[in-house]
Amino acid sequence: MRGWLALAVGLFTAVSYAGSPVHEFKLDNGLRLIVKEDHRAPVMVSQVWYKVGSSYEHDGITGLSHVLEHMMFKGTKAHPAGEFSRIIAENGGRENAFTSRDYTAYFQTMEASRLPVSFELEADRMRNLVLPAEEFKKEVQVVMEERRMRTDDNPQALTYEQFNATAYASSPYRIPTIGWMGDLKLMRVEDLRDWYAKWYAPDNATVVVVGDVDPQAVYRLAKKYFGPLKPSHVIAPKPREEIAQYGPKRIVVKAPAKLPSLLMGYKAPVVLNAKTEWEPYALEVLASVLDGGDSARLASRLVRGEAVAASAGAGYDAFDRKETLFLFSGIPSNGHNVADLEKALRAQIREVQDEPVSAAELARVKAQIKADKIYEQDSIFYQAMQIGMLETVGLSWKDAEQYFSRIDAVTAQQVQAVARKYLVDDRLTVAELSPQPIDPKHPPREGGVAGHVR
Amino acid sequence: MFARKNSLLAYAWLFLALAFAGGAQALPQIQSWSTAGGTKVLFVAAHELPMLDVRVVFDAGSARDGSLHGVAALTNSMLGKGAGGKNADAIAAGFEQRGAQFGSGSERDMAWLSLRSLSEPDLLTPSLQLFRSILGQPDFPVADFKRERQLTLTGLEYQQQQPKSIAENAFYRAVYGQHPYAANPDGNPESVAALRIQDLKAFYRRYYVAGNAILVLVGDIDRKRAEAVAEDIAAALPPGKKAAALPEVAPLEKASTEFIEHPSSQSHVLMGAPGMRRGDPDYFALYVGNHILGGSGLTSRISEEIREKRGLSYSAYSYFIPMKRKGPYTLGFQTRTSKRDEALSVLRETLRKFVDQGPSAEELKAAKDNIIGGFPLAVSSNSKITEYLAMIGFYGLPLDYLASFPDKVAAVTAEQIRDAFQRRVKVDDMVTVIVGTQSSGSAAP
């Protein structure tokens, strides 16, 4: 029953660090290597992170980073299409890749002695991808199917996409990672070749290995496989800061659905751009006070208590690369509408602005983050993910190490201060999903593309 | 955000395989005993991280609903909403102020309650006490019952706007007919609206009993402490007996196709039949065979034919869900409506060819290399080991299930796979469910 609004928010709200030391290396060609030992089981995860994602894109080429991620499995001269997956599989590996706004990453999880297999294949496709036109023609169709499945036929995801494109005017965060259908339809394999040449190079990549490995041995392997690759002197993207907002924005998304839903997002700073160092951490605590479990305010007061919401959530990610949104989301309960839910959420916002949060709430948030620090170590994948994500957005794995102490230093007054400063109407965008009849005679416009795409 | 392959299914499989790391040895040493009240305990000591996972599993899934569809799920979700005089807020705060995580859930076979806590006694002991009172003294407060019932109804509405859920619900109905597995575990709008609090209390009294429970402990405690913890938790449960055996699943007698109109740009297609049970004599042949046919992501035949060669779908797959009785064998994909018939005939052709001919020697070797080579990944986190112990305990599998798994996979032959698929997978007697808009072509077999 939980997680109806499984939106892409707050994935890393509980980043923290503990456990064995981290070893950092840099190759002559600019490739960064970070290794963390975890000897509890004879396994390892190897991840390659590139500084590229949909927030590096612009109008007309949206979705390019993600399609390129798909094409990274379509062969090099040494290993033609399909071989990458076949070789990893025969070595007992599990592999996949993911693209977000701020990064593209590839990973293999394997028995620890198989690390050279992973390095050899990843090094090869870092510079030697072939990008065959006929493979591209099929794969871009697969991505369009992915878009239909994830977004076009999912009214809440569709609402989130429209909301996001409304909240941001000039920031590339307005771009959906999957890409607009119109851009996918007109994408050319040449676009991918340019994108690959621009971003896929050792000086734009971080390799992270966590598991039952010896850091020096991993460094030697990295030099052997990645060392010979030529750097491409990658030029960092322009900042493309979000322009000022001069008042609340509000949209309605009409789609075939049974349930209405609500999104409210307030522009908020992140660690990378915050002028006041503690503010992003105070915003993290605020998000946890509101939605850090079943005893947090939104579950306790809006879902139980007033019972105005069937689900209600708040999320914020201090480690985004650019100015982000402090997001509220929810589904009104039966007998209530979106306006009731918005009113109830606004009352909660007023309360955190008017009164400091309680000592018990602060203690609860801190206890949870402290425990999560231990629980996270049950997954080498998660540990590697934290390191790679921080390094790739331009922070450091050390920020994870210091996360708990920074959270621990947050006071009730600071939480109140950020609520007053950032949860204000001039920073707000609201989107409402207005359910339309589920009428098979009226299928949705494909890809949300108005008019025709040739 | 966007993983490249995978249906939700493949995604889940992937992360099960990945959420590991832990457990000290390559293979967890499982210890097992029974409490004084007759609850079976499975325990793995893992001292690397100062934490403990507790899971109590009951034979109390929706297969036990009878005519009260949804009662198992609602009973399970009500347990943490009031117990021993504490309300839902006090219970949630009791766990969360100590950094503990409480969870509960139910499916067709199982219902469970879980707790993850730091092993430091000052934190663990009070969390265990609270967990114990949820198990043994639930209050079923009326106001919470009414709200949770309404939330279930809202959840059912949500399912009706998702083509994937619409297809799944119809698929189980068609595959299982009169069997208890046919029903949606969340119930249906009429049955849920009619549930009364007495129904939940009666369900709880019958099924949440010591004789119908399995207790799993994984983490940083020694055997002596584990015995004490197990005894303490199990003693919270009233004595009582195991649930009765479920009826056998009837085979499908002929093919059927159900078309459900939905205004989506894609059609979601599911095809299948009753498959196999846990502990099935054909388990390893069917498991390894399906790995080759549609269970191993991009390298499987179905994905190769539908996605890689033709670009027809983001995810095309097949999988068995082994259950107490025969769980479903499911094959599926989703594609734009104009390509639906083409993709469906490719799926049927791929299945037919595999059943007729079985795998090649190279395919079988590749599958074994993948499964056996990847085995250390599957059992190397506390959470993954907890899941496995729950499965082994609940389904009564031997304690050496994990230890012997690689050898049993290695022993499977191509002929055994072909033979098992021919006996067990009847290509011409399958259910097909399609959710989407009508198109000119016919999707009938």
- Kindly tell me if the per-residue pLDDT of A4 is higher than 70: no
- Kindly tell me if the per-residue pLDDT of B124 is higher than 90: yes
Q: How much of chain B is in helix, strand and coil states, percent to nearest 5?
A: 50, 20, 30
Residues of chain B neighbouring A154 (CB-CB closer than 8 A): 162
Residues of chain B neighbouring A138 (CB-CB closer than 8 A): 308-311
pLDDT tens digits, one per residue of A382-391: 999 999 999 9
Q: Which of residues 251-280 of A touch B (CB under 8 A)?
A: 256-259
Q: Do A374 and B50 touch (CB under 8 A)?
A: yes
What is the model's pLDDT at position B380? 83
Residues of chain A neighbouring B23 (CB-CB closer than 8 A): 40-41
What's the mean per-residue pLDDT of chain A? Answer: 93
Q: Say how many CB pairs under 8 Å bridge A and B.
A: 275
What is the model's pLDDT at position B306? 98
Measured at the CA of B185, the angle between CA B182 and CA B187, to 5 degrees, comes to 95
Tell me how far apart the alpha carbons of residues A395 and B135 are, in angstroms, rounded to a whole number.
45
Best to test chain B binding among A2, A9, A136, A142 (most B CBs inside 10 Å):
A142
Q: In chain A, pLDDT over 90 holds for what percent of residues?
A: 91
What is the model's pLDDT at position A445? 57
- Residue A76 distance to chain B (closest CA, Å): 16
A80 has a chain B CB within 8 A of its CB: no
pLDDT tens digits, one per residue of A234-257: 999 999 999 999 999 999 999 999
Which residues share a beta bridge with B336? B266
- Residue B36 distance to chain A (closest CA, Å): 32
Residue B9 pLDDT grade (very low, low, confident, very high; cuts 50, 70, 90): very low
What is the model's pLDDT at position B233? 97
Tell me the two tokens of residue A223. 């030099």
What is the model's pLDDT at position A450? 40
Q: Do B1 and A85 touch (CB under 8 A)?
A: no
Best to test chain B binding among A84, A164, A300, A378 (most B CBs inside 10 Å):
A378
B152-156 average pLDDT score? 98
The answer to whether the CB of B14 falls within 8 A of the CB of B373 is no
A134 has a chain B CB within 8 A of its CB: no
Q: Closest residue of B to A146, CA-based?
A: B314
Tell me how far apart the alpha carbons of residues A146 and B333 are, in angstroms, rounded to a whole number.
11
Tell me how far apart the alpha carbons of residues B147 and B150 are, in angstroms, rounded to a whole number.
5
> How many of the other CB atoms lie within 10 Å of CB of A419?
27
Residues of chain A neighbouring B297 (CB-CB closer than 8 A): 85
Residue B439 pLDDT grade (very low, low, confident, very high; cuts 50, 70, 90): low
Least confident segment among A187-191, A354-358, A446-450:
A446-450
Residue A14 pLDDT grade (very low, low, confident, very high; cuts 50, 70, 90): very low
pLDDT tens digits, one per residue of A69-112: 999 999 999 999 999 999 999 999 999 999 999 999 999 999 99
pLDDT tens digits, one per residue of A119-135: 999 999 999 999 999 99
Catalytic residue among A24, A37, A57, A69: A69
What is the model's pLDDT at position A11? 29
Best to test chain B binding among A39, A45, A85, A145 (most B CBs inside 10 Å):
A145
* Nearest 10 degrees: Cα torsion B380, B384, B390, B392: -50
Q: Do domains B2-15+22-234 and B256-436 have the same CATH topology?
A: yes
B44-69 average pLDDT score? 97
pLDDT tens digits, one per residue of A188-197: 999 999 999 9
Q: Do B161 and A257 touch (CB under 8 A)?
A: yes
Q: Closest residue of B to A149, CA-based?
A: B266
Of A89, A258, A368, the CB nearest to B296: A89
A306 has a chain B CB within 8 A of its CB: no
The answer to whether the CB of B124 falls within 8 A of the CB of B52 is yes
User: What is the CATH topology of the domain spanning B256-436?
Assistant: Cytochrome Bc1 Complex; Chain A, domain 1 (3.30.830)
- Residue B224 distance to chain A (closest CA, Å): 23
* Cβ contacts of A115-119, under 8 Å, gap ≥ 24: A115/A44, A115/A46, A115/A209, A115/A213, A115/A218, A115/A221, A116/A221, A116/A225, A117/A87, A117/A88, A117/A91, A117/A93, A118/A46, A118/A88, A118/A93, A119/A46, A119/A207, A119/A221, A119/A222, A119/A224, A119/A225, A119/A226
Q: Give, in order, the Cα–Cα distances in Å from B164 to each of A347, A357, B321.
A: 36, 41, 17
- Residue B239 distance to chain A (closest CA, Å): 30
- Residue B151 distance to chain A (closest CA, Å): 6
Q: Do B99 and A368 touch (CB under 8 A)?
A: yes
Q: Which of B354, B331, B361 is nearest to B420 (CA)?
A: B354
Tell me how far apart the alpha carbons of residues B181 and B109 are, in angstroms, rounded to a whole number.
9
pTM above 0.90, yes or no: yes
Catalytic, A69? Answer yes
> How many of the other CB atoms lie within 10 Å of CB of A382?
21
Q: Which of B379, B186, B171, B357 is nearest to B275 (CA)?
A: B171
- Residue A266 distance to chain B (closest CA, Å): 22
Q: What sections of A264-337 are H helices per DSSP? A: 279-291, 297
Helix (H) or strand (E) holding A35: strand A32-37
Is 0.90 exceeded by the ipTM?
A: yes
Tell me how far apart the alpha carbons of residues B137 and B205 are, in angstroms, rounded to a whole number.
11
Of A89, A293, A444, the CB nearest to B370: A89
Residues of chain B neighbouring A383 (CB-CB closer than 8 A): 21
Q: In chain A, pLDDT over 70 holds for what percent of residues?
A: 93
A133 has a chain B CB within 8 A of its CB: no
Measured at the CA of B355, the angle between CA B350 and CA B360, to 5 degrees, comes to 80
Best to test chain A binding among B161, B169, B307 (most A CBs inside 10 Å):
B161
What is the model's pLDDT at position B445? 35
Q: Give, in order, the Cα–Cα distances in Å from A426 to each of A276, A384, B167.
A: 20, 38, 43
Residue A232 pLDDT grade (very low, low, confident, very high; cuts 50, 70, 90): very high
Least confident segment among A140-144, B24-28, B69-73, B426-430:
B24-28
What is the model's pLDDT at position B276? 98
Domains of chain B by residue range: 2-15+22-234, 256-436
B2-15+22-234: CATH, from 3.40.50.620, 3.30.830.10, 3.40.50.740, 3.10.20.30:
3.30.830.10
Q: Do A378 and B101 touch (CB under 8 A)?
A: no
Residue A439 pLDDT grade (very low, low, confident, very high; cuts 50, 70, 90): confident
A412-433 average pLDDT score? 98
Residue A19 pLDDT grade (very low, low, confident, very high; cuts 50, 70, 90): low
Tell me how far apart the alpha carbons of residues B159 and A2 are, in angstroms, rounded to a whole number.
13
Q: Do A111 and B374 touch (CB under 8 A)?
A: yes
Unique residue bearing structure tokens 């000052």: B122
Which residues share a beta bridge with B270? B332, B433
